[in-house]
Amino acid sequence: QLQLQESGPGLVKPSETLSLTCTVSGGSISSSSYYWGWIRQPPGKGLEWIGSIYYSGSTYYNPSLKSRVTISVDTSKNQFSLKLSSVTAADTAVYYCARHWSDRSRYNWFDPWGQGTLVTVSS
Amino acid sequence: SYELTQPPSVSVSPGQTARITCSGDALPKQYAYWYQQKPGQAPVLVIYKDSERPSGIPERFSGSSSGTTVTLTISGVQAEDEADYYCQSADSSGTVVFGGGTKLTVL
């Protein structure tokens, strides 16, 4: 059974870079069938897709965040990572990683999801 | 930017049928997906490709599509179905979009 687990600091200072890692277990991140994605949810609000990566390193991002986001993959560790630069209080959210079923065309969905990790931006 | 529109809330009594809609201009060309999220938990996929149900999801959950609107139907609603429900799709460039979410209350 595939499982994903987010890890990283729970508190980040304004203007700094948020860094999170997602560890995949029970399956290989190098599968040719999937992307791997990051989604966030501010407290009490809805879901926002951040971006996704293929095991080869090919990425695509939400245009609204693209200038600040970098997603990378480490197939040797079965992990993928998120970096979000120049954070503000508006970036405070629960950050989820998920397997992203996508053909970059007509279909794409997220299943399963990690449990999520709360990142607070505050000095 | 592309948006998916959901009603903020839906209320039903136990045993009744709940219908949650999601509207978006690209839905005739892009599949829609539905997630259930209970408080403090991660979202769970309940419908994919408009109307397919993942294994392990009860048969009372179904999805349908008509033009620019997709609908999640929960037949015979149970107390455990009380949750937030999010639709998700993509725009023509492949950018993933989520609806604003609908809070389902079981009276």
- pLDDT per position as a tens digit, A61-84: 999 999 999 999 999 999 999 999
Contact across the interface for A49 and B44, Cβ inside 8 Å:
no
Contacts of B94 in chain A (CB under 8 A): 60, 102, 104-105, 108
Of A49, A52, A107, the CB nearest to B98: A49
Residue B102 amino acid letter: T
Specify the pairing of strand A108-113 against strand B61-66: unpaired
Contacts of B29 in chain A (CB under 8 A): 106
- pLDDT per position as a tens digit, A16-63: 999 999 999 999 999 888 999 999 999 999 999 999 999 999 999 999
CB neighbour class for B80 (10 Å; exposed up to 12, middle 13-18, buried from 19): exposed
How many other CB atoms are there within 10 angstroms of residue A111's CB atom?
18
The yes-or-no verdict on residue B1 having pLDDT over 90 is no
Of B1, B29, B88, the CB nearest to A109: B88
Give the pLDDT of residue A93: 98
CA A28/CA A25 separation, integer angstroms: 7
- pLDDT per position as a tens digit, A81-122: 999 999 999 999 999 999 999 988 778 999 999 999 999 999
